[in-house]
Chain A
Amino acid sequence: MSADKSINITLKVWRQKNAEAKGALETYELNDVSTSNSFLEMMDQLNEQLINEGKSPVEFDHDCREGICGSCNMYINGQPHGPKNLNTTCQLHMRSFKNGETIYVEPWRAKAFPVIKDLVVDRSAFDRIQQAGGYVSVNTSGNTQDANAIPIEKQNADWAFDAATCIGCGACVAACKNASANLFVSAKVSQYALLPQGQVEAKDRVLNMVKQAQKEGFGPCSNTGACEVECPKGISLENIARMNREYLAASLSK
């Protein structure tokens, strides 16, 4: 933690013109970075400097800047979303860095997340996994039964909520040596598995979503737990265990 009000840093940033081009780390010096700035505000400052120098600014994904949309995705000093746990890149502040520090900034690395440009990667594989079964097949007429018709045990409702807080950023994949998407897939599977509304389609859901993840090129899970450590929302490994149980049961009964 830095006690200084502003710091000078050296940045090593991954630059890659497009998906086909070969990328490389470029070095930039950035001075007078306020320690109350967020990491992305520091990147804004870098881009302003680059534009003023006539160079092309660094492309990166970001939107809400309050840790909930899941857009931002920087691999900072070898960790997805940087050194703080339970934190997205946009919620990381420069007070977490020291004056004179060299900071490495890279995109997520995974076969299923190809680089589009600089730090921007294509995470549409996550959408396709959800399309394979991450829903309850209920029409949107509003003519369903009353919301309080089925009481749900508070513990299950809370666990379902905890699983549902996944922001789909992909840090779990970036953290995994196998680039596995199991934490992401299991969070959605668990949310529905814990709720009565999800029971009807539970078997098809888990089989189809796991199949799609494999098809997208995400690797297998070897239970090392790096995903859980790096997950900004603290999604628990228990979800993977639950998904495995659901998967086994579904495979045996099909």
Chain B
Amino acid sequence: MSLDSKIPEGPIGDKWTNHKNNINLVNPANKRNIDVIVIGTGLAGGSASATLAELGYNVKAFCYQDSPRRAHSIAAQGGINAAKNYQGDGDSTYRLFYDTVKGGDYRSREANVYRLAEVSTNIIDQCVAQGVPFARDYGGLLDNRSFGGVLVSRTFYAKGQTGQQLLLGAYSAMNRQIAKGKIQMYNRHEMLDVVIVDGKARGIIARNLVTGEIERHSAHAVVLASGGYGNVFFLSTNAMGSNVTASWKAHKKGAYFANPCFTQIHPTCVPVHGSQQSKLTLMSESLRNDGRIWVPKKKEDAEAVRKGTLKPTDIKEEDRDYYLERRYPSFGNLVPRDVASRAAKERCDAGYGVVDNDTKEGVFLDFASAILRYGKEEANVKGIENPSEEKIKELGKKVIENKYGNLFDMYQNIADENPYETPMKIYPAVHYTMGGIWVDYNLMTTVPGLYATGESNFSDHGANRLGASALMQGLADGYFVLPYTIGDYLADDIRTGPISTDSKEFEEAEQKVKDEINALVNINGSKPVDYFHKKLGLIMWNKVGMSRNEQGLKEAIQEIAELRDEFYKDVKVPGSGNEMNSELEKAGRVADFLELGELFARDALEREESCGGHFREEYQTEEGEALRRDPEYTYVSAWEYTGKPSEAILHKEELSYENIELKTRSYK
């Protein structure tokens, strides 16, 4: 099957408007006869469910958590971008579009990104109308801050809890529709297969996680909003339950998987502390507005810091290496995430890491100079003449507390150190997956009637996502894109009537799910699920992580396949399928990660260039920067499942850049 991205004709600024003017609509009375299933209730799924219900469709929404409000969008910290240009610093739709394409290292689809930038301003209006309490200045107007990879302040925020506030906004919009009966909410349910009838997605098989019951649910279309697959690395900033299962089952039923190797390793996370660690915690990128990143200039100082014999605050200014400011003077500490992460790895590999763990991985994020700077400003504002250094620090700490208080508390809790007094220690961690299910301009996958939105699709961030753009994409897809494009497809379904769940397709899918569950429960091996998940994570981190090479990737493919065999021989899943059983849930998810991991490594092996978060050691400049190979690799890799990850077929969607010139990214 060839890939048709269905990009509308016309100049980039008119494409979305023209498209909306030309696609089919469903009349309000007919919408009442059409059902839509939405998987996931984060920003993408929550906003899509609310809007679809409001338009008149009957929505069935599913989440594995005990409430839709707990989806992992809730943990997003720093903010959401929008081209409002409230600061008058030269922002525009075009500039947001340009920054996003450049930040993504020229591997995203121009038309989708432009549309994202275009609807970004509506998101802010919408959220304010819903009562989302964004940060405001003393004049009562909305405040902005800056994020990596851009030269304007376009990020709206609610302290370090922007994701929470936006998700609660979408949740409230859902609640309004649940109260009306327009959304039927299925909490504690996990989708375990898509059902395809006559070539179209017509429903799902789900497991009730409380009773263990396997249920059939039908609809005229199915929307995936099930998030990313960063947990293939075991340790990541994702929630414990975040998984690839919904996407992977869809892939196995015909949805192509695009750019699986494009993964974002976020530069500022709390470093790993030990082997029993279950997850990693992000420290928002917004901290790089005021924090300066450094390591000691001398190796012996780094060693003394690790041993605990030298305090970072005792290292003199001239003995510190602010390596981002040194290497990238124009963007400094605000370079994009992939660049900042690799730079941290480079310093730690060279022996300058400051954390006393196995791999000595960690660098400082220091607020001392910001505290002094803000303190002096405050002293001026308050009219304090000749303030003491102590007073300045006190005032400065208050400003920092106001901006990042909850993040500092969180850090102190985990690391047991006071970041107001001593620099934070941070290191990159897996955070977001740019790759995902392939979709066309309408967000439809290669399976008719099956859509993918938010992090679960691949379309907007190319090979690297800019900070504060995930929230933007989730809400753009859910509130303002999918609800319109899906009408074009559903217009053909106004006479279809309810989809029966008694067909043989539903029966077969249900039986397959039951068989898989029974198989897992009956292996009765010797090792718990986490043993395999941790092993997979280590293979991924060491060989398919921040830097990759041909030999390592080939080894990883082999090792993952072997680990998968071992899993099916030796995993131990206690209990049965007919009860609440979180070990069984984990086993199903890890089984899918074990297949995805292999495709992920294959994709990384196939892409013989470095771009964004994908860094192949063989392809770098003399200064160690990513070296793209545009003539050979300006395409989206879309993989078709044929029975085994090793036999997946690669399809290419060529990317054409008509509005932005392909250039080597420079943040120097």
Measured CB to CB, the residues of A under 8 A from B are 18, 34, 36-38, 40-41, 44-45, 47-48, 51-52, 54-57, 59, 61-71, 86-87, 91, 93, 95, 116-117, 120, 122-124, 126-127, 130-132, 134-148, 151-154, 157, 160-161, 164-165, 167-168, 191-192, 195, 197-198
Contact = CB atoms under 8 A, between A and B. Distances in A.
B368 to A, nearest CB: 25
Interface string B394-423: 000000000000000110011010000000
Contacts of B281: 65-66
B164 interface: yes
A135 B175 contact: yes
Interface in B226-255: 237, 239-241
A135 B125 contact: no
A221 B526 CA distance: 51
Given A63-B239, A68-B161, A147-B125, 6 more contacts: A57-B582, A63-B65, A69-B72, A127-B178, A147-B128, A164-B168
B240 A127 contact: no
B210 interface: yes
B70 interface: yes
A165 B164 contact: yes
Interface in B121-154: 122-131, 133-142
Contact of A51 (B139, B574, B580): B574
Contacts of B129: 136, 138, 144-145, 197
Given A37-B274, A116-B210, A124 B66 contact: yes
A36 to B, nearest CB: 5
17 contacts: A18-B580, A34-B273, A44-B530, A54-B574, A57-B583, A64-B70, A65-B239, A66-B281, A91-B410, A131-B176, A134-B175, A135-B172, A142-B480, A151-B136, A154-B136, A157-B135, A197-B129
Contact of B136 (A55, A66, A146, A152): A152
A102 to B, nearest CB: 21
A114 B383 CA distance: 58
A239 B121 CA distance: 32
B69 A95 contact: no
A137 B180 CA distance: 12
A160 B574 CA distance: 46
B447 interface: no
Contacts of B140: 151-154, 157
Interface of B: 47, 50-51, 54, 65-70, 72, 74-75, 84, 86, 119, 122-131, 133-142, 158-159, 161, 163-165, 168, 171-173, 175-176, 178-179, 185, 187, 210, 237, 239-241, 273-274, 276-279, 281-282, 409-410, 413-414, 416, 479-480, 528, 530, 572, 574-575, 579-580, 582-583
Contacts of B65: 63, 69, 71
B579 A66 contact: no
Given A131-B179, A135-B173, A147-B124, A164 B530 contact: no
A193 B179 CA distance: 21
Nearest to A123: B66
A59 to B, nearest CB: 6
Nearest to A164: B133
A66 to B, nearest CB: 5
Given A59-B580, A69-B75, A168-B69, A197 B125 contact: no
Given A63-B70, A147-B124, A140 B479 contact: yes
B581 to A, nearest CB: 8
Contact of B165 (A44, A152, A161): A161
Nearest to B132: A164
Contacts of B159: 161
B222 to A, nearest CB: 21
A67 B67 contact: no
Contacts of B168: 164
Contacts of A69: 65, 70, 72, 74-75, 239
